[in-house]
Chains A and B, each alone.
Chain A
């Protein structure tokens, strides 16, 4: 126990030493940079660049196991990002959207151009204040009014939006001809080709789409046991789903590796300066 503790202290010291070393080296390389006017600026910037590299490595260390460095980075990240969104929300939404529409005095105070009094902006203001009533244990139930408004409006709006944009278009797109360009049995065989734009391939594809959609929907049937013909259809449905999931997974592997490239670029180029 004592030994593992001393090891972690040694590691901590090494990490701190490396951090300081990197900071000093970065600061000295910056000093020759004409953009950085004073020593103070180079020291500050060098600190942040080293910090970013340290945090990058701290997050990567999570791959080995949970450790104090990851915990530090995680907790710092949570705190700072929550505050960041609070600030962005305050300045851009409250000051940017709400204030110019409700009060001239506040607009001058926050130095934003006053757009005139708009009654409609009092609705979210009042609902927002109602929401804050949660903090009161006695009148907390009033906040449900705001929740009810949000949930009700969301439900109505999204129901329609989804039906219109996704659902109906998918249904109508399923209406594909099962015999593409059918001119009879003779021409079908005489002009037979396997090319992907050929009649055979198109017809086959349309059949696969039709059967795929059909069986996929059967798979999602809840009120009938998956037995007999119904069971076969639903099994075909899940096959099609699985093939799709495999394909999507394989497809995504590609993009994910490129994210790593971005981080490697930071570590090797911006921080260590190993490659140009």
Chain B
């Protein structure tokens, strides 16, 4: 009976920490877990050190310390720690954390704006101490005070260096090869069956006197696959204008529609046939996935286009479109970077551009040296990836994981 009351009392004591926990951090203590025999002032936490949090926007300090010798050993009466901060050596100190259990570090981050609660100005001296707490609120011990320390923001996030190096490296490769191409170097690019089929398909449509259906997919204007698709549309529209074939471009996203209209118009101008351009070649259907599919299906069966091109982002509708196109007897060429949909296009279309080939298509179709330059850059980057992978393997074999860490970007 006595034991029970004691436990209840202890739980109640612990509960008094709950408000502190409310703003706390990971490892908040669970009252049932701790069994404390008796309460004597414990040894304090030692070796407290603090530094400005690296790679951040400021308003934050990293703290670390060593556990009290009475935590989990010795008297075993430390149940956790709390971080206290003041703006002068003499205090007043205020608590900055919840109850931290068996923790040796903490990030004291404050709000960045003056009007917010808990604003923590940069370039101000702060003093920290760590309080080792016991089950009795009155019994605790403080570490030595560390300070002064200031927080400040950085201009560059070094953790993201790997990304910067990749962007810079790739930018360099692209510019290098484009310059090379400008100077007239002959850049070899192998035959790409799927992409050459686009040319043939346009020819076929001309012979048959039937239009070409170009589907930009369900991508919004915010998808790079859609940007790649505009450029392919540009090339296709130019050929179509030259051959005087019809072009139908039903759109899903209204912004994409506007861009596509501009693209097709430009292509007709380039081909020297601005008169043949009609605003209604590129039109809006609807902004809902399956309603759009229903509409496009209707066009396929009624206009019977000679060729259907699907380029961009596609989701579940890919197979519905491709199967209907087969029924209508059109030649179908697809290209998407949406990995889960590539299998359906591969199965149901005559030609399928897989992933990267979609991005290559825009460069390849135009055969402009400038664009081919970027294809070269892509190839060299791939070689770089393979090289990195091999280095990665080798380093892991010798037990060094620094390279893996370097590429682990948060």
Contact = CB atoms under 8 A, between A and B. Distances in A.
User: A and B: direct contact (Cβ < 8 Å)?
Assistant: yes
A81 B287 contact: yes
A138 B382 CA distance: 47
Interface string B385-405: 110110011011100000110
A204 B26 CA distance: 39
A223 B375 contact: yes
A178 interface: yes
A252 B298 CA distance: 25
Interface stretch (A41-49, A71-79, A111-119, A261-269): A71-79
Interface residues of B, number: 64
B403 A175 contact: yes
Given A73-B294, A168-B407, A241 B190 contact: no
Interface string B138-164: 000000000000000000000010110
B115 interface: no
Contacts of A241: 354
Contacts of A162: 224
Contacts of B221: 150-151, 154
A249 B162 CA distance: 36
A85 to B, nearest CB: 4
A51 interface: no
B181 interface: no
B382 A66 contact: no
A134 to B, nearest CB: 6
Interface string A54-83: 000001001000100011011101111110
A201 interface: no
A78 to B, nearest CB: 5
Nearest to B189: A222
A154 B259 contact: no
A167 B356 CA distance: 13
Given A78-B294, A221-B379, A248-B340, A151 B259 contact: yes
B409 A78 contact: no
Contact of A78 (B258, B286, B346): B286
Contacts of A143: 258
Contact of A223 (B166, B290, B343, B379): B379
Contacts of B160: 164
Contact of B397 (A82, A84, A171, A179): A179
Contacts of B276: none
Interface in A78-132: 78-82, 84-85, 131
- Of B190, B223, B286, B302, most A-chain CB atoms within 10 Å: B286
A204 B14 CA distance: 53
Contacts of A150: 221-222, 255, 259
A229 interface: no
B355 interface: yes
B258 A147 contact: yes
B393 A223 contact: no
A260 B118 CA distance: 55
Contacts of B111: none
B21 interface: no
Contacts of B288: 81-82, 84-85
Given A85-B288, A163-B163, A222-B189, A62 B297 contact: yes
B393 A178 contact: yes
A81 B291 contact: yes
Contacts of A59: 294
Contacts of A224: 188, 190, 379
B264 to A, nearest CB: 14
A174 B375 contact: no
B355 A220 contact: yes
A188 interface: no
Interface stretch (A12-20, A21-29, A210-218): A210-218
B267 to A, nearest CB: 15
A155 interface: yes
B378 A222 contact: yes
Contacts of A35: none
11 contacts: A66-B302, A70-B298, A82-B285, A82-B287, A85-B286, A134-B258, A150-B255, A158-B224, A178-B393, A217-B382, A220-B382
Given A71-B298, A168-B407, 19 more contacts: A70-B298, A78-B291, A78-B292, A85-B287, A143-B258, A154-B224, A164-B163, A167-B166, A171-B385, A172-B392, A174-B389, A175-B404, A179-B397, A222-B189, A222-B378, A223-B188, A223-B376, A244-B343, A249-B347
Interface of A: 59, 62, 66, 70-71, 73-75, 77-82, 84-85, 131, 134, 143-144, 147, 150-151, 154-155, 157-160, 162-164, 167-169, 171-172, 174-179, 210, 213-214, 217, 220-226, 241-242, 244-246, 248-249, 252
Q: Which 10 residue pairs across A and B have the least CB separation, nearest first? A: A175-B392, A172-B407, A245-B343, A81-B291, A81-B288, A82-B286, A85-B287, A74-B294, A66-B301, A248-B343
